[in-house]
């Protein structure tokens, strides 16, 4: 028990370090993070907690739970930048404790699994990156773990408590990101005759429990969805009940990828574990314990969902976050005691290779078409990556737990260095729209009309604390808009350097392009190309 408490304190400490680095190392990144916090900001301004809004229109792409939690924190701490970013991080931390608890339920005779699995999970690159991302997937991961814990609880003799947990998990998952929670939980529950094949229980009662949990989850979600549908109108109603659920799964209008798309991403998603030979030996060892209840349960969780997400049209790497605890549990169970001298070699080579590549990029950024800030990158940044490899060579420990922590810390170090020292720090304003947002705030407070050329995703609303929507126009309408609003200002994007004759009030890098604030006098060339 003392060892477990010590491990828990270590998870919290490492989580806190990562969160603090993220809070001070970057701001909200366009387009997703800035959009979601803007939706919460609009909810705060309108005091309307039923229908989310984005730039004057109902926002039907996501349910409201994350926005509610952001507003709840603002009600306690006041409107601030840090609380919305902390919400998903808290769910990520909670997921580590749920993973450990689930490990104890699956392998009560093997406490090492509950100590190792959360460390492995936290050490995965994808998990680290999205621990501090203001998005919905960490909520879904946490509710999936809660649902899995409910399934195991129902199986191990407490059906009412178990199915209640599953129902609550489904309901909260529906409010967090919609029906994807059903795909995360139901396959495992339905496959109970396989992972629990030694049981002689009456399966009718089991499947009745599943049905009851689904109905409870649907009831929880409908407590919001029905009033919101009545408030939001027909278009919003159709979107939340159909357009963002079944249609997206069958024929995604966004993020459409081939079936095999996830496979080449796995080395990055599971970095650094797939570069560690000891992890491969651990995964291979699972074939010798494949008849264990816990192993079968995790396979019934991991494999069907991964296959299903591969078959679904719309794909993003973070969609896999909810099944990553299953991978960490399996690896923690299979990881061998013995260590070999060459186990750290691939990780050291990756650090050396990454450092060399970063050095070379400073010379070849322009020919490769990379952003200008890559060319200005200092060599010392590459040296820090090399130092992560040296850490592995210096730190030696025969303990399996210590070795897992060493690899996890290596992964955290590399990811933090690459993201916060190389990318976000080096790119300066390319991912930071706060200066532009503050200029828009000054203009709007002064009564200056504002227009956004092209689709607007709410990038500037919260960061500038704007209280009115931006008028969205097409580029072909810009000259006419200036005629109607001679004192107005427009936000315009350029794929490269600004064209001759265009003198903006303000400009800055933006995601590989340039964004500028233009007045009527700065737009002398109506036929100039603006992507």
pLDDT in tens, 51-68: 999 998 999 999 999 999
pLDDT at position 323: 97
pLDDT at position 243: 63
Q: In what order do the strands lie in the sheet with 489-494?
A: 471-473, 450-453, 489-494, 513-519, 506-510
| Distance (Å, whole) CA 325 – CA 328 | 5
Of the listed ranges 6-20, 315-329, 395-409, the one predicted with least confidence: 395-409
pLDDT at position 71: 98
Q: What is the DSSP string of 277-290?
A: HHHHHHHHHGGGST
Residues 6+ apart with CB under 8 A from 210: 163, 166, 186, 189, 190
Share of the chain above pLDDT 90, in %: 65
pLDDT at position 524: 64
| Distance (Å, whole) CA 91 – CA 87 | 7
Quick check: pTM over 0.75? yes
pLDDT in tens, 497-517: 777 778 899 999 998 889 999
- The closest alpha carbon to 42, from 29, 52, 32, belongs to 52
Residue 419 has a CB neighbour count (10 Å cut-off) of: 19
CB 173 within 8 A of CB 143: yes
- The closest alpha carbon to 479, from 471, 490, 493, belongs to 490
Residue 70 predicted with pLDDT over 60: yes
pLDDT at position 342: 76
pLDDT at position 3: 67
Residue 214 predicted with pLDDT over 80: yes
Residue 359 predicted with pLDDT over 50: yes
Burial of 339 from C-beta contacts in 10 A (0-12 / 13-18 / 19+): middle
pLDDT in tens, 132-169: 999 999 999 999 999 999 999 999 989 999 999 999 99
- Domain boundaries, given as residue ranges, for the chain: 2-334, 345-431, 434-522
Taking residues 256-283, report their average pLDDT: 92
Share of the chain above pLDDT 70, in %: 92
Res. 251 pLDDT band, cuts 50 70 90: very low
pLDDT at position 379: 66
Average pLDDT, the chain: 89
Residues 6+ apart with CB under 8 A from 1: none
pLDDT at position 250: 46
Residue 248 predicted with pLDDT over 50: no
Res. 381 pLDDT band, cuts 50 70 90: low
Contacts 24+ apart (CB under 8 A), 244-250: 244/60, 244/61, 244/62, 244/178, 245/178, 245/179, 248/313, 248/314, 249/312, 249/313, 249/314, 250/313
pLDDT in tens, 76-95: 999 999 999 999 999 999 99
**C-alpha distance across the termini of the chain, in Å:** 60
Helices 111-123 & 82-106 angle (0-180, nearest 10): 150
Backbone angles phi, psi at 223, to 5 degrees: -60, -30
Backbone angles phi, psi at 293, to 5 degrees: -55, -50
Q: Cα–chain-centroid distance for residue 240? A: 22
pLDDT at position 531: 42
| Distance (Å, whole) CA 254 – CA 446 | 38
pLDDT at position 8: 85
Taking residues 6-31, report their average pLDDT: 91
CB 459 within 8 A of CB 31: yes
pLDDT in tens, 393-413: 677 666 788 888 888 988 888
Could you tell me the fold of the domain covering 434-522?
A: D-Maltodextrin-Binding Protein; domain 2 (3.40.190)
| Distance (Å, whole) CA 368 – CA 361 | 9
As a dihedral over the C-alpha atoms of residue 479, residue 480, residue 484, residue 490, rounded to 10 degrees, the angle is -40
By residue count, the chain amounts to 531
């Amino acid at each position: 028990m003392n060892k477990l408490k010590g491990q828990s304190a270590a998870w919290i400490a490492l989580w806190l370090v990562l969160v603090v680095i993220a809070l001070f190392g970057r701001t909200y990144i366009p387009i997703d993070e800035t959009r979601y916090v803007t939706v919460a900001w609009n909810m705060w301004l309108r005091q309307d907690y039923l229908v989310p809004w984005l730039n004057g229109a109902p926002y039907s792409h996501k349910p409201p739970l994350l926005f509610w939690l952001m507003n709840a924190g603002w009600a306690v701490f006041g409107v601030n930048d840090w609380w919305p970013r902390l919400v998903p991080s808290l769910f990520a931390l909670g997921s580590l404790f749920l993973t450990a608890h689930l490990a104890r339920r699956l392998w009560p005779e093997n406490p090492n699994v509950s100590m190792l699995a959360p460390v492995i999970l936290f050490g995965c690159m994808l998990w680290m990156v999205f621990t501090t991302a203001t998005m919905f997937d960490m909520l879904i991961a946490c509710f999936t773990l809660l649902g899995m814990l409910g399934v195991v609880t129902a199986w191990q003799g407490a059906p009412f408590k178990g199915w209640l947990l599953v129902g609550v998990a489904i309901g909260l998952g529906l409010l967090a990101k919609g029906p994807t929670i059903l795909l995360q939980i139901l396959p495992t529950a339905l496959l109970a005759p396989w992972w629990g094949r030694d049981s002689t229980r009456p399966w009718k009662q089991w499947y009745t429990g599943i049905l009851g949990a689904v109905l409870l989850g649907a009831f929880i979600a409908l407590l919001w969805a029905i009033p919101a549908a009545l408030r939001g109108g027909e278009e919003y109603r159709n979107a939340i009940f159909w357009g963002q659920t079944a249609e997206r799964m069958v024929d995604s209008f966004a993020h459409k990828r081939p079936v095999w798309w996830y496979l080449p991403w796995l080395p990055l998603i599971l970095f650094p574990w797939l570069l560690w030979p000891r992890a491969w030996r651990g995964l291979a060892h699972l074939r010798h314990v494949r008849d264990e209840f816990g192993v079968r349960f995790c396979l019934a969780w991991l494999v069907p969902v991964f296959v299903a997400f591969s078959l679904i049209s719309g794909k993003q790497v973070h969609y896999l976050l909810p099944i990553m605890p299953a991978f960490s549990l399996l690896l923690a169970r299979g990881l061998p005691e013995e260590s070999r001298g060459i186990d750290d070699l691939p990780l050291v080579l990756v650090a050396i290779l990454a450092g060399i590549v970063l050095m070379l990029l400073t010379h070849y950024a322009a020919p490769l078409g990379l952003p200008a800030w890559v060319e200005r990158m200092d060599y010392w940044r590459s040296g820090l990556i090399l130092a992560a490899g040296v850490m592995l060579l210096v730190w030696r420990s025969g303990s399996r737990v210590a070795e897992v922590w060493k690899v996890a810390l290596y992964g955290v170090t590399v990811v933090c260095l690459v993201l916060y020292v190389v990318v976000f720090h080096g790119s300066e304003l390319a991912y930071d729209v706060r200066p532009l947002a503050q200029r828009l705030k000054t203009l709007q407070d002064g009564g200056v009309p504002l227009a956004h050329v092209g689709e607007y995703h709410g990038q500037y609303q919260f960061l500038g604390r704007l209280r009115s929507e931006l008028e969205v126009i097409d580029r072909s309408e810009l000259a006419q808009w200036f005629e109607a609003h001679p004192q107005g200002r427009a936000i315009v994007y350029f794929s490269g350097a600004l064209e001759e004759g265009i003198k903006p009030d303000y400009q800055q890098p933006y995601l590989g392009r340039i964004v500028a604030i233009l007045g009527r006098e700065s737009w002398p060339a109506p036929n100039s190309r603006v992507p």
